[in-house]
């Protein structure tokens, strides 16, 4: 089980397409797990590789 390392965005935005970028502060390559909570009703999670 991992630990929470960062919050990329917290708050509200207008409906539509949005893009957020995250670059780890320590610059380490590896596997990142993410979770997106949409309006407190839907959660999308996944993983990404950072090189």
Condensed to tens digits (0 to 9), the pLDDT of residues 30-51 reads: 888 888 888 888 898 999 888 8
Record the pTM.
0.59
Number of domains the chain contains: 1
Residue 3's pLDDT is: 77
Query: Whose CA is closest to 8, among 37, 41, 51, 49?
Result: 37
Residue 28 has pLDDT above 80, yes or no: no
Contacts of 2 (CB under 8 A, 6+ apart): 33
40 assigned to some structural domain: yes
Condensed to tens digits (0 to 9), the pLDDT of residues 7-25 reads: 888 888 888 998 888 877 7
Residue 1's pLDDT is: 62
8 assigned to some structural domain: no
Residue 27 has pLDDT above 80, yes or no: no
10 assigned to some structural domain: no
44 assigned to some structural domain: yes
Residue 47: domain span: 25-51
The CA-atom distances, in angstroms, between 5 and each of 1, 13, 29, 41 are 13, 23, 14, 23
């Amino acid at each position: 089980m991992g630990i929470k390392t960062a919050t990329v965005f917290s708050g509200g935005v207008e409906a539509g397409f949005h893009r957020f970028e995250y670059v780890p502060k320590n610059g380490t390559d590896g596997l990142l797990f993410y979770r997106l909570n949409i309006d407190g009703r839907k959660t999308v999670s996944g993983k990404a590789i950072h090189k």
